[in-house]
Amino acid sequence: MPQATFHFPNGFLWGTATAAYQVEGNNRNNNWSAWENEAGRIKDGAKAGLACDWWGGRWKEDFDRAAEAGQNALRLSVEWSRIQPAPDRWDQDALEHYRQMVRGLVERKMTPMVTLHHFTDPLWLYERGGWEDDATPALFNAFVAKTVEALKEYVNLWVTINEPNIYTALGYVIGLFPPGNPDARTAFKVYRNLLRGHAAAYRTIHSVQPQARVGVTINRTAFVPARRWFPPDVLLTRFFNWNLNEAYSAALTSGKLAFLFRRARVPEAAGTQDFIGLNYYDRRQLIFDPGARDQLYAQQQFPRGVEISQSGEFGNTPDGMYDALKWAKRFELPIIVTENGIEDEADGLRPRYLVENIHQMWHAVNISYPIKGYFHWTLVDNFEWARGWTQRFGLWGLDVATQARLKRKSADLYAAICKENGISSEVVQRYAPEIFGKLFPG
């Protein structure tokens, strides 16, 4: 049996990614708390409830699990509505709670990556229009200034906004996320304001903490036409790739936004990234369907032979990871894979997915792509937005009723990778033997 190890550079960040609303629990003051109380918004009528009870203190045991598993980093987000529960009020206790959390990571010798906006908006902001309101970028900037000042002792790696492309697409183009308002003109305004908000936050963070590293995360779904010979499929794919994958990042380079056939100049956004935050899950084929107006005339499917998750919503397409990294390299900045994972309650597909996607990342590192870290989605099963509790992404399972954690074999697999700082033949043989010959031929 061949023996080898695909090693990563010294100092590589290995972690898991989380989001405040999905793990904290008992958050009743933001747009998602309102949204989940509207009939039909969440699958099976589920509620976040306690989530993973991090606000109640169970972050400590989960941080211990991550540290013991060899993770040297963790990505979390802060909840704007906790820190600023009303337009004229700041909650110092909430800021101190987050200080304890990021200090807890540092004490465990883990690097915190903090996301300042991960899909949720305070209820008071939501009720006045959220990111549709041109005043919101300045309000967000004030929140960022307050938060960074409080946490700067422990954090210097910041994500301003998580997946502005998905926030806009699902809230204002498809309508699955709040406010559920599919309107192209409004979507464009929201996208522009998210750019303005990021640009202001970038400069504020650097003014408070000059040594900080600041970026955004973009969810890049690798779309390809199902029928390369059929012009509608090809044109549809170009439309999706530009508007979902390219438009925001292009504006961060040029200061010019082109989105949904509208254009605007946002010059203050140019050059406001210190790293590229890449979220990658899978690659999909697009089929033009004139009857699917609510899905922008697109049917999505996975290429033939791809292993698909239990809900059918995610696939294991590791070659798309390499293509996504190739895209990220164009910006000539350090790259951090800020999310990558698959729903898999039985934990049968996840080991292959994890190994094959990290192996593709190793290929890119091996030809000098400037990749600095990898954050698996996620540490513990959490509340998956509109899908509620039906999708289980955790290395650790969660019994929602009892809050009990259940270690999956992928937790041990990822721990072995983190501790080795690479993928060894022994680990693949133990946890994913069915793909051993693919990674270690001969």
Task: Tell the residue number behind the tokens 């936050």, with chain if given.
Answer: 201
Give the whole-angstrom CA distance, residue 323 versus residue 340. Answer: 14
What's phi and psi for 392, nearest 5 deg? Answer: -115, 105
Question: For the packed helices 92-107 and 59-68, what is the interaxial angle rounded to 10 degrees?
Answer: 20
Cα–Cα distance measured from residue 248 to residue 392, given in angstroms and rounded to the nearest whole number: 29
| Residue 388 and residue 44 in contact, taking contact as beta carbons nearer than 8 Å | yes
What local confidence, expressed as pLDDT, does residue 212 receive?
98
Percent over 70 (pLDDT), the chain: 100
Domains recognised in the chain with CATH numbers: 5-439 (3.20.20.80)
The Cα 35–Cα 96 span in angstroms is: 28
**Nearest partner of 249 among 329, 357, 177, 317, judged by Cα:** 329
Strand partners, 277: 217, 336
Instruction: Judge contact between 254 and 272, C-beta under 8 A.
Output: no
Nearest to 14 by CA among 418, 357, 396: 418
- The chain-wide mean pLDDT, for the chain, equals 97
Decide if 427 contacts 419 (C-beta within 8 A): no
Q: Taking a C-beta distance cutoff of 8 angstroms, is the pair 109, 67 a contact?
A: yes
Handedness of CA 236, 386, 116, 274 (dihedral sign): negative
Q: What is the mean pLDDT of residues 400-417?
A: 98
Return the axis-axis angle of helices 247-254 and 184-208, rounded to nearest 10°: 50
Cβ proximity of 351 and 432 under 8 Å: yes
Asked if 392 contacts 414 with a C-beta cutoff of 8 angstroms, the reply is: no
Q: What is the mean pLDDT of residues 330-336?
A: 98
Return the closest-CA partner of residue 279 out of 221, 359, 230. Answer: 221
List the beta bridge partners of residue 259.
Answer: 262
Answer whether residue 222 shows pLDDT above 90.
no
pLDDT at position 32? 98
For 49-59, the pLDDT digits (tens) are 999 999 999 99
Nearest to 290 by CA among 231, 224, 223, 232: 232
Mean pLDDT of 21-42: 97
Residues 344-363 have pLDDT tens digits of 999 999 999 999 999 999 99
Q: Provide DSSP, 385-434.
A: GGGTTS----SEEE-TTT--EEE-HHHHHHHHHHHHTEEEHHHHHHH-GG
The DSSP 8-state label assigned to residue 212 in this structure reads: -
Please provide residue 29's backbone torsions phi and psi, each rounded to the nearest 5 degrees.
-130, 30
pLDDT of residue 262: 98
Asked if residues 328 and 298 have their Cβ atoms less than 8 Å apart, the reply is: no
Q: Residue 442: pLDDT band by 50, 70, 90 thresholds?
A: confident
Considering the entire predicted model, what is its pTM? Answer: 0.98
270 contacts: CB under 8 Å, gap ≥ 6: 251, 252, 253, 254, 255
DSSP string, 157-190: EEEEEE-HHHHHIIIIII-SSTT----HHHHHHH
pLDDT, tens digit, for every residue of 258-272? 999 999 999 999 999
Tell me how far apart the alpha carbons of residues 331 and 252 are, in angstroms, rounded to a whole number.
10
